Amino acid sequence: MKALLLYPEFPDGFWSFKHALKFVGRKAALPPLGLITIAAMLPGTWELRLIDMNVKKLTDTDLSWADCVLVSAMVVQRKSAKELIARCNKAKVPVIAGGPLFTEERDAFPEVDHLILGEAENIFPRFVADFEAGHAARFYAASDRPNIQVTPMPRWDLLDMKQYASMSVQFSRGCPFNCDFCDITVLFGRRPRVKTAEQMIAELDALWDADWRSSVFFVDDNFIGNKPYLKTTLLPALIAWQHSHKRSIPFYTEVSINLADDEDLVRQMVAAGFDRVFIGIETPEEEGLLGCNKLQNTKRDLTASIKKLQNMGLEVQAGFIVGFDSDTFSTFRRQYAFIQASGIPTAMVGILQALPGTKLYERLWGEGRIKGVVSGDNVDGTTNIVPKLVSSEELSVGYRWLVHYLYAPKHYYQRVRTFLKEYDPAPLRGASLSLKGFLALVRSFIYLGVLGKERFCYWKLIIWLLRRPRLFPAGVTLSIFGYHFRKVAESIR
Ligand code: SF4
């Protein structure tokens, strides 16, 4: 059986990092981890090819080679997924689809032959057996949460690794919290399931053996969901793994704000090579946090928690949301003031969207406040919610103002400086300026220092960094990220 694995394109948004990738000569930020994990569950007798449409075009010759196509996608990839499925239908190649998009919108894809709904581990072998026997059903829905300690190692060999800025691995699924807008707990549950430290070390060994030396993203939605296992087992194993190699590999991940309450855990993460964490802050307003059940963010000084993490060696990237029921027109200015004061250069601000299956969606549906289909890109300035205290137009105007203001060079570089003054990065063992890093620096001189409208702010920062060489790599990286965010912000009209 010849199977073509297809990963649809992401739109050009904040998360694509498209405008930053040209500095490092890469085409995509991250590889399709779900698809290469599914690939590892297919029989060894199947012939596999993978096309990540973010790095390579799909041709008719690719389709004519295939006996079947496997597609995996998130909601944000819907448009590209629809287009490629139409091409498969035209070429008469059966389509097998799975992932969050198809699980959450199963009835929106009548053109897909077979749908794998939910986590695949326990249902995929039965589908494959039925498919090979020629009598596969249309739906295979997971009825339980699989033990991910049996999940096979992803097939990184199917990737052209040189096209990616980072590699990714997954340690856990699920999150113990219960934010009402979040589909993670709907998809993966609230009891975090973890892989073993041995699995993670084997995956990192495989990446190292494949000559991967750049950063690795732990894609977990909340890496600290199971703290006891992290502290006693995984992090000590990661620390030992880093020390057994000539140089450290930088790690980054997503966590909840309560990480700041556990200094031992932060120290261990930094010692294990983590230098960046993404946190859902959402809003500095207590009422908004209570309204969406983000209780872990309430009753605390959020800025102090962020600064503590920065002081201990973690850059905090954060997600923010406008459009909560308690938000008024003055919320936009308060969000701006908070983000600036906290020194969060990478602040992903989106309008609240209601994803099908979430508690938020159920509530708003009951109130008659759902309009249209969710885009899944929460930073594209659209929403499927009728807002409460502001009009749709005010929400849209306020959002545009906030994003444009945050990423105007003067304000962005101010934030970078605020962050760098707090940041105390751990030295990266064995780090040296790679050719990729050198070229990124030279390109930043040209695109930011000569051609960019941020040139004045950029050179001011570079001069400031010359006296602080430890901060130089972070400062240049953030300048490049800022260029990407500015371009995306400018495209939001
Ligand atoms: S903390 Fe993050 S992953 Fe967990 S429920 Fe809230 S939004 Fe979802």
* pLDDT over threshold 80, residue 429: no
pLDDT, tens digit, 9 for 90 and up, residues 357-372: 899 999 999 999 999 8
**339 within a domain of the structure (yes/no):** yes
pLDDT, tens digit, 9 for 90 and up, residues 330-342: 999 999 999 999 9
Q: Which atom of ligand 1 is nearest to the CA of 222?
A: 3
If asked whether residues 191 and 288 sit together in one domain, one would say yes
Residue 14 confidence (pLDDT): 85
Q: Which atom of ligand 1 is nearest to the CA of 294?
A: 6
If asked whether residues 412 and 455 sit together in one domain, one would say no
Return the best residue to mutate from 256, 297, 298 for the ligand 1 pocket (most ligand atoms within 8 A of CB).
256
Token representation of residue 395: 């929400």
Q: Which atom of ligand 1 is nearest to the CA of 256?
A: 1
Q: Which atom of ligand 1 is nearest to the CA of 296?
A: 1
Residue 43 confidence (pLDDT): 96
Find, among 333, 266, 259, 331, the residue nearest to 297 by Cα.
Answer: 259
* pLDDT over threshold 80, residue 376: no
If asked whether residues 184 and 134 sit together in one domain, one would say no
Torsion of CA 351, 9, 317, 162, to 10 degrees: -170
**Cβ neighbours of residue 265 under 8 Å, at least 6 residues apart?**
224, 227, 230, 231, 235, 259
Q: Which atom of ligand 1 is nearest to the CA of 177?
A: 5
How far, in Å, is the centroid of ligand 1 from the Cα of 289? 12
How far, in Å, is the centroid of ligand 1 from the Cα of 486? 27
The CA distance from 57 to 8, in Å, is 10
Q: Which atom of ligand 1 is nearest to the CA of 182?
A: 8
**Cβ neighbours of residue 43 under 8 Å, at least 6 residues apart?**
1, 128, 132
Beta carbons of 111 and 122 less than 8 angstroms apart: no
| CA nearest ligand 1 atom 8, residue | 182
**153 within a domain of the structure (yes/no):** no
Residue 49 confidence (pLDDT): 98
If asked whether residues 13 and 130 sit together in one domain, one would say yes
**470 within a domain of the structure (yes/no):** yes
How far, in Å, is the centroid of ligand 1 from the Cα of 375? 19
CATH number at residue 197: 3.20.20.70
Which residues does a 6 A CB cutoff place in the pocket of ligand 1?
A: 175, 177-179, 182, 184-185, 221-222, 256, 280
How far, in Å, is the centroid of ligand 1 from the Cα of 60? 40
How far, in Å, is the centroid of ligand 1 from the Cα of 457? 35
Residue 12 confidence (pLDDT): 86
Torsion of CA 197, 203, 209, 212, to 10 degrees: -110
The number of distinct structural domains making up the chain is: 3
Q: Identify the DSSP state of 152.
A: P
**67 within a domain of the structure (yes/no):** yes
How far, in Å, is the centroid of ligand 1 from the Cα of 219? 13
User: Among 101, 126, 141, which residue terminates a domain?
Assistant: 141
Fill in the amino acid letter for 34: G
If asked whether residues 406 and 258 sit together in one domain, one would say yes
How far, in Å, is the centroid of ligand 1 from the Cα of 256? 7
Greater model confidence, 158 or 436? 158
Length of the chain: 493
How far, in Å, is the centroid of ligand 1 from the Cα of 417? 29
Q: Hey, CA dihedral for 173, 477, 320, 362, is it positive or negative?
A: negative
If asked whether residues 98 and 224 sit together in one domain, one would say no
pLDDT, tens digit, 9 for 90 and up, residues 180-239: 999 888 888 899 999 999 999 999 999 999 999 999 999 999 999 999 999 999 999 999
Q: Which atom of ligand 1 is nearest to the CA of 225?
A: 4
How far, in Å, is the centroid of ligand 1 from the Cα of 30? 21
The CA distance from 68 to 154, in Å, is 20
Return the best residue to mutate from 170, 178, 182 for the ligand 1 pocket (most ligand atoms within 8 A of CB).
182
The domain of 237 spans 166-422
**432 within a domain of the structure (yes/no):** no
* pLDDT over threshold 80, residue 433: no
How far, in Å, is the centroid of ligand 1 from the Cα of 50? 31
* Average pLDDT of every residue of the chain: 94
Q: At what angle do helices 331-342 and 392-407 cross, to 10 degrees?
A: 20
If asked whether residues 171 and 129 sit together in one domain, one would say no
| CA nearest ligand 1 atom 3, residue | 221
If asked whether residues 209 and 349 sit together in one domain, one would say yes
- pTM, full prediction: 0.94
DSSP string, 467-487: T-GGGHHHHHHHHHHHHHHHH
The CA distance from 71 to 96, in Å, is 6
If asked whether residues 261 and 365 sit together in one domain, one would say yes
Token representation of residue 357: 């299956």
If asked whether residues 58 and 175 sit together in one domain, one would say no
How far, in Å, is the centroid of ligand 1 from the Cα of 358? 12
Greater model confidence, 376 or 386? 386
Residue 378 confidence (pLDDT): 65
If asked whether residues 97 and 133 sit together in one domain, one would say yes
The CA distance from 488 to 491, in Å, is 5
Q: Cα angle at 110 between 106 and 115, to 5 degrees? A: 50
**441 within a domain of the structure (yes/no):** no
DSSP string, 319-330: EEEE--TT--TT
User: Among 403, 422, 441, which residue terminates a domain?
Assistant: 422
Find, among 325, 321, 304, 225, the residue nearest to 265 by Cα.
Answer: 225
**149 within a domain of the structure (yes/no):** no
Residue 303: pLDDT band with limits 50, 70, 90: very high
Token representation of residue 246: 């000539």
Return the best residue to mutate from 218, 221, 259, 282 for the ligand 1 pocket (most ligand atoms within 8 A of CB).
221
**341 within a domain of the structure (yes/no):** yes
* pLDDT over threshold 70, residue 282: yes
If asked whether residues 306 and 406 sit together in one domain, one would say yes
Residue with tokens 């299956």: 357
**Cβ neighbours of residue 116 under 8 Å, at least 6 residues apart?**
96, 97, 98, 102, 123, 124, 127, 140
pLDDT, tens digit, 9 for 90 and up, residues 9-50: 999 888 889 999 999 999 999 999 999 999 999 999 999 999
| CA nearest ligand 1 atom 6, residue | 179
